[in-house]
A and B are shown apart, each in its own frame.
Chain A
Amino acid sequence: MKISAKDIALCGVLSALALGLSVWESLFPLSLLIPLPGVKLGLANLVTLFALYALGPRRALAILLTRCLLGSLFAGNASALLFSLLGGLVSMAVMIALHRSGKFSVFGVSLGGAAAHNVGQIAAAVIALGSTAVIGYLPLLLLVSLVTGALTGLLVSLLLRATEHLSLQ
């Protein structure tokens, strides 16, 4: 696979943006409003979804993996890698499948990705804690994901329209 300098630069910039959004989001914890472990706005998913549409699934996956690896390094927490990887990979798989079907809008893909992200993170919590008790949080997390997924879908739609004229690939 040929990788151009433009690809590397673009993926690097988007990875940095995703990392920055993750850190920024941690400064405004949604868990203060909704006391559920793992509940968050998912701002970094803006980048992942945008990259999926603008750059394609391979580059989006590369950006996701870079963000997860570096994010866990910055957090200094190995378990953070399990949570972000499992959530991110499940979300990416669902979004790629929905995107490839050609039937869903950016909103639908985002909704599916947000819900899948929570399922993946709950799975990570079950593995980390050795307990299925955390599955009880999933219903409320899924309902929250409908809101965050819709917001992400809206923002990415606007971004994609605004960058239609750019040759990103």
Chain B
Amino acid sequence: MPTRSSTPKYRPTAWDAWIFAAVIALAAIVAVLFYGGASRGGDTVVTISVAGEVAERTALAQFDGEHVYTGNGYTLNVVAQHGQIRVSHSDCPGQDCIHTGGIRRVGQSIVCLPAQIVIRLESASPDGADVIVG
């Protein structure tokens, strides 16, 4: 004799559609907030932070060569080519940062959780001039 506290509804109900719609709406809202101000090229700034501290912040167009960052015992090699930035090498266990590939739009980011390194593309500051390196 089954003694479950409630009888499950096995078939989807009309109320389930509200959950579906709510999840879609939340995804859309976050996407608009994060990527709505997309821009490319010269006014895009790349910010690289390690364990929450900004390690480097420079214009994407001026990010030359290969930069190496170390966090939490892991090392990431970051390169910028053809208007996009990517992780070329990492010794982290998951390799999600490499699989993310290149990013080029404001709001996009590459995250390496084991290394606690975040590479983020942002709009240049409103007054247009400040680029901070180091």
Contact = CB atoms under 8 A, between A and B. Distances in A.
A136 B109 contact: yes
Task: Say what secondary structure dominates the interface of chain A.
Answer: helix
A108 B12 contact: yes
A131 B8 contact: no
A31 B96 contact: yes
A63 interface: no
Given A35-B101, A157-B8, A169-B5, A133 B16 contact: no
Given A31-B96, A98-B19, A166-B2, A105 B116 contact: no
Interface stretch (A2-10, A13-21, A65-73, A137-145): A137-145
Given A111-B23, A133-B109, A140-B27, 18 more contacts: A31-B99, A98-B19, A105-B9, A106-B9, A108-B16, A111-B19, A115-B19, A129-B51, A130-B51, A133-B49, A133-B111, A133-B118, A133-B120, A136-B108, A142-B24, A145-B23, A160-B10, A168-B3
20 contacts: A32-B99, A37-B111, A37-B113, A104-B15, A105-B11, A106-B10, A108-B13, A108-B15, A111-B16, A125-B113, A129-B51, A131-B49, A133-B49, A139-B34, A142-B24, A145-B23, A146-B20, A146-B23, A161-B10, A167-B3
A138 to B, nearest CB: 5
Given A115-B26, A134-B118, A139-B28, A164 B2 contact: yes
Interface residues of A, number: 49
Contact of B116 (A129, A139, A157, A164): A129
Nearest to B14: A103
Nearest to A169: B3
Interface of A: 29, 31-32, 35-38, 53-54, 56, 79, 98-99, 102-108, 111-112, 115, 125, 128-131, 133-140, 142-143, 145-146, 157, 160-161, 164-169
A129 B118 contact: yes
Interface residues of B, number: 43
B94 A142 contact: no
B3 A104 contact: no
B108 to A, nearest CB: 7
